[in-house]
Amino acid sequence: MTVVAHQAQAQMFSLGPPEMILKDHKSSESFSCEPAVHLLDLLVQDVENSLQAVATNVAVHVKIHPIHGILQCINKCQMSISGHIKNVQCDLQNWPAKLENVVKLNYRVIDFTLDILAGGKSIADCPSFADIGSALEHLVSLEEDRSEETTTLSPEFQLLLSWCWINLK
């Protein structure tokens, strides 16, 4: 399945009740864990690929890889599976490992986003909002040659700032 197909599946998942989307159409059961776990694996892989792409060129790839929506779908998928594990016969022996993988992925997203906001400096230094603005301006100015002195009001700056804040949320 392509990235576009995964994103379409994630969008469908965010629109409807998980039980409807993850219904196993081959059986009469109202919920099957296999499609849900498969979707969870695909979404986790999609976030990992997106994070890797954004790391190569932040200013360009934040436009293409809005990670926060997929993270929300992962959360919804996890909650749905967790809510049905007791009610449905699911062979989920590796469920704790999958949850640990999702938690580690969330930590990587948060660490990466904080590194962007810190401008490559140690996050332990607690950058001020002015330092954060300077770091983001620097990333935006690397992408485009601007004769203007400030890029703070540019759409690229606003997109990058929004991408960072919403991924931290």
Q: Is the pTM of this model over 0.75?
A: no
Nearest in space to 58 (alpha carbons), one of 125, 119, 131, 149: 119
Task: Answer whether 77's CB lies under 8 Å from 19's CB.
Answer: no
Determine how many CB atoms are found less than 10 A away from the CB of residue 94: 11
pLDDT in tens, the chain (169 residues): 455 554 555 555 555 545 544 554 444 455 567 777 888 888 899 999 999 999 898 878 888 888 888 888 888 888 877 777 666 556 677 788 888 999 999 999 998 888 888 887 766 667 777 888 888 888 887 766 554 555 557 888 888 888 888 888 8
- Taking the CA of residue 22 as centre, how many other CA atoms within 13 Å lie in the half-sphere pointing to its CB? 24
